[in-house]
Every structure is written in C-alpha cells, then in structure tokens.
C-alpha cells in the first residue's frame, strides 16, 4: 500500500525524530470534514479525530476564515499586555460553560497542571491545609497528560517507567467501570475515595468517562455520589473534560449527564477547533481568585489568535449542531455496532460519538484491527490491547457513519471467517 514517497517520510521521522509513537503506515497531507487524504490521494474516513481534537471537522471553512483574518492583524503579544480578543473569549467561555472564571493555556496537560495549582492554593488559602501537605485524590486508569507531575499519578507503568522521582501529594482510588465488581451504585469505588480523604485533601480529580483508559463509562450516579462526597468533606471536584467535553458525549460536558456542578473543569482538544492547541481551566470565583500576578502563566496562553479561534470554536458547537449530532449519530452508531452481533466483540461502550469496542483478547489485537481498517480506508486508533475507539468528527453525516460501519463490518467479519477457516484447516 505504501509507496517510496511515503517510505521516505516514514524513514525521516524515524531517523530524525524520537520513537515516542508507533504510527500506522499512512502519510497524511490533507483533510476536509470527516475525511483525510494521504500523499497518494487515497481518501480515508477519520474515525479518530486526533483524539477528539477535530470535533468540528478538518479545515472548517469558518475557522480558516477567522485564522486568516486574525493572523493578518495580530497573533501573539504575551499576557504582558491586554489584547482585544481575550476578554471576548473569556466572556464566551464562561457564559457557555456556566462557570465563573476561565484561565486559558495551550495544551491539555498545562490546563491540568493549572487545575492542580489552583486546587492546592485553594487548599492552603481557603481551607488552611498546613504548608506542603495538600493532597489530591485521582482514579486508577486515569489519563491526564504527560508532564512529570501528571505521569507520576498514572497507574500505567508505560507512562511512568524511568521518569521518576515524581511529585508527591497524590493518592489513587478505584475508578468505577462496567467491569468492576462493585454494586449497582458503584459503592466500592466511592468507598475507595472516601477512605483516602483526610483533613489535607483539597481535591478529587477524575475524568467523567475515561478515554485513554479504554472508554470506561462509570455507572449512572457515580459522579453524583462523588460530587456529594466532595461537598460533605469540603473538597473540590475537578473534572478533566479535555476529551469528553465540548459535545463529544452528546452533551456539552460529560458531567451534564449527571446534573452536577463541579468546582473546576478542564477543557482542551476541540476548543482549538482542530487547528490550534487551546486549553482552559474553568472554575468558581473563589478557586480562581487564589491566582495573583506572578503565580502562574504561559507565553502563548490566551494569545489573540487562539482567543479568536477558541471563541468561534465554542460558538460553532451550536451553530453547526455538533452536540445534537453527536448525541443522535452516536446512539445510532452504538446501536448498529451492537447489532452486528459479531462474536469477536466483547462489549460496545461509550456515549455520543465516543465509542469503544472491546474485542476478545484471544482473537487478535485491537492494533491489528486498526491496521486492517486502515487498508479499507478507515482510520482509528486502539487504546490498550483490546479496545478500538470510534470517535469521528462530530459533524459527520449519517451516510458516512454508514460507510464506516460497512468497513468495520467487513474487517470484523473477515477476521472471524479467517479464524473459523484456520480452525477448520487444523
């Protein structure tokens, strides 16, 4: 499938770069909506959306217009000065999300770091936790980014090995997933958080649905129980909505499925409209008020270009009907995947256009299926050995969901047929 030109690109990355990714053998050069093209002009359906960063679709014409317009005026001046766009962006951000305050950064990991700093300051200044004693409780299976502090509280050995020593002040409780043996109210998980709380606990930090952990959906009511636990103990609830937020699960935020109000919300990925790294930490006023000049910052955070793009990205969630589309087509995709009723599929889970298909591990690897899907011009990416995610841009049409389903069915069925004939042959 790959020709010499593609081989050269691939070789260059491996000769001159670091080997911190293992990409599929496809060299992409163009994108439009839910489609991508490789350097040969072969067209692929994108069912990955850059880990949900491209919810608006590739090369969104309105975002291209905004970028062009702004880049010709002003792009970056740092926060040493006021700029025309940041105030507008912050106003839109807080109005749409119904949070009091927003602090704009660039990457998701930086916004998580911002949340950690905010929570610790709140702990020391508002809760009188003794200096250097603040604790944050996280969940096993978490993914919050790649800084040394963040990988330090990961439960995945691949993320941490050889990167210590790590930042202290984090404790790990059990996430609630469909696979856990807990009761219908997920009390074992809640209990594990409860046990770790003490007078120095300033926050609980969780993903409402774990993405990189395997599209793990907690039982209904779990987040609400966690929110209640936080309120009872005067602890902040911080939710990482970097991947689950901005419509991905069929609501603005995944926590909206539970009707709660967290103290801090972390967003990123789709906030940049699939064009720029833009992230933000959103919180109540009393949490954000603990930042003062000099305590936190970012050269590029909240620059005029990012502010213009971020504001339009938020507005387009509604103008392009992305949240509703995610809800309706997500439900359709999920139903159709379940209806395939293939014996290779162990479970289909997720909300909105954010689905994980867990395959039986004795059949093949999820990575292998992603390779086979790529040969049929559908791009996605496994997470862990046994889960394939399907997370197309939220503007995808039903017709192209059907196209994806057809290819998925072909690959999964062929695989089963192969297995059966291999068995017969032996």
Ligand X SMILES: *Cc1c(COP(=O)(O)O)cnc(C)c1O
- Residue numbers of the site for ligand X (CB under 6 A)? 51, 107-109, 112, 143-145, 207, 211-212, 240, 242-243, 268-269
Residue nearer to ligand X on the CB measure, 272 or 345: 272
Interatomic CA distance for residues 396 and 55, integer angstroms: 9
In this structure, the chain runs to a length of 426
300 in catalytic set: no
Please identify which of the residues 38, 153, 170, 240 carries the catalytic annotation.
240
Least distance in angstroms from the C-beta of 275 to ligand X: 14
For β-strands 355-359 and 345-350, DSSP reports them as antiparallel
* Segment holding 239, helix H or strand E: strand 236-240
Least distance in angstroms from the C-beta of 254 to ligand X: 10
Interatomic CA distance for residues 103 and 88, integer angstroms: 13
Least distance in angstroms from the C-beta of 354 to ligand X: 11
Dihedral sign, CA of 173, 178, 182, 183? Answer: positive
* Segment holding 421, helix H or strand E: helix 398-425
418 in catalytic set: no
- How would DSSP label each residue in 259-281? T---SEEEE-GGGGTTTS--EEE
HSE-up of residue 5 (Cα within 13 Å, Cβ side): 7
Residue nearer to ligand X on the CB measure, 99 or 242: 242
Least distance in angstroms from the C-beta of 104 to ligand X: 13
Say how many C-beta atoms besides its own lie within 10 A of residue 413's C-beta. 13
Residue 120, φ and ψ in degrees, nearest 5? -65, -45
Residue nearer to ligand X on the CB measure, 112 or 405: 112
Please identify which of the residues 38, 46, 89, 143 carries the catalytic annotation.
143
Residue nearer to ligand X on the CB measure, 53 or 129: 53
188 in catalytic set: no
Nearest residue to the partner ligand X, using Cβ: 108
Least distance in angstroms from the C-beta of 214 to ligand X: 12
- How far CA 128 is from CA of 135, 200, 400, 419, in Å, comes to 13, 9, 55, 62
Least distance in angstroms from the C-beta of 282 to ligand X: 14
Please identify which of the residues 193, 263, 269, 412 carries the catalytic annotation.
269
Residue nearer to ligand X on the CB measure, 34 or 212: 212
Strand segments (E) across 329-371: 345-350, 355-359
Residue nearer to ligand X on the CB measure, 214 or 268: 268
Helix axis angle for 61-73 and 304-319, nearest 10°, is 160
Residue 345, φ and ψ in degrees, nearest 5? -85, 125
Residues recognised as catalytic:
143, 240, 269
């Amino acid at each position: 499938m790959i020709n010499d030109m593609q081989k050269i690109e691939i070789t260059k990355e491996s000769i001159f770069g670091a080997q911190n990714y293992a990409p599929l053998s496809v060299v992409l050069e163009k994108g439009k909506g839910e489609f991508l093209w490789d350097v040969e002009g072969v067209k692929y359906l994108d069912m990955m959306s850059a880990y949900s960063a491209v919810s608006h679709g590739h090369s969104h014409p309105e975002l291209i217009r905004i970028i062009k317009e702004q880049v010709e005026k002003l792009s970056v001046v740092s926060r040493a000065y006021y700029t025309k766009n940041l105030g507008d962006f912050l106003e839109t951000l807080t109005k749409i999300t119904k949070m009091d305050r927003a602090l704009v950064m660039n990457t998701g990991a930086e916004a998580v770091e911002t949340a950690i700093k905010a929570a610790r300051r709140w702990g020391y200044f508002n809760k009188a936790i003794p200096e250097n004693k603040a604790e944050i409780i996280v969940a096993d299976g978490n993914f919050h980014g790649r800084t040394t502090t963040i990988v330090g509280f990961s439960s995945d050995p691949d993320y941490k090995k050889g990167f210590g020593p790590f930042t202290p002040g984090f404790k790990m409780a059990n996430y609630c997933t469909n696979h856990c043996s807990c009761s219908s109210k997920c009390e074992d998980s809640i209990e594990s958080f409860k046990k770790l709380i003490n007078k120095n606990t300033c926050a609980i930090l969780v993903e409402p649905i774990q993405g990189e952990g395997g599209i793990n959906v907690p039982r209904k009511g779990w987040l609400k129980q966690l929110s209640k636990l936080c309120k009872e103990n005067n602890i902040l609830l911080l939710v990482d909505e970097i991947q689950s937020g901005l419509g991905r699960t069929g609501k603005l935020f995944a926590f909206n499925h539970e009707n709660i109000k967290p103290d801090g919300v972390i967003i990123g990925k789709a906030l940049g409209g699939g064009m720029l790294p833009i992230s933000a930490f959103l919180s109540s006023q009393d949490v954000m008020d603990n930042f003062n000049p000099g305590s936190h910052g970012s050269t590029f955070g909240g620059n005029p270009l990012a502010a213009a793009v971020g504001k339009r990205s938020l507005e387009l969630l509604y103008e392009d009907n992305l949240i509703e589309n995610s809800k309706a087509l997500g439900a359709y995709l999920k139903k159709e995947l379940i209806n395939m009723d293939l014996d290779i599929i162990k479970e289909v889970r997720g909300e909105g256009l954010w689905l994980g298909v867990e395959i039986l591990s004795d059949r093949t690897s999820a990575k292998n299926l992603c390779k086979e899907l790529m040969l049929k011009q559908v791009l996605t990416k496994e997470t862990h050995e046994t889960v394939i995610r399907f997370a197309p841009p939220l503007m995808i049409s039903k017709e192209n969901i059907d196209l994806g389903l057809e290819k998925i069915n072909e690959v999964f069925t062929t695989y089963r047929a192969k297995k059966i004939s291999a068995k017969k042959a032996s």
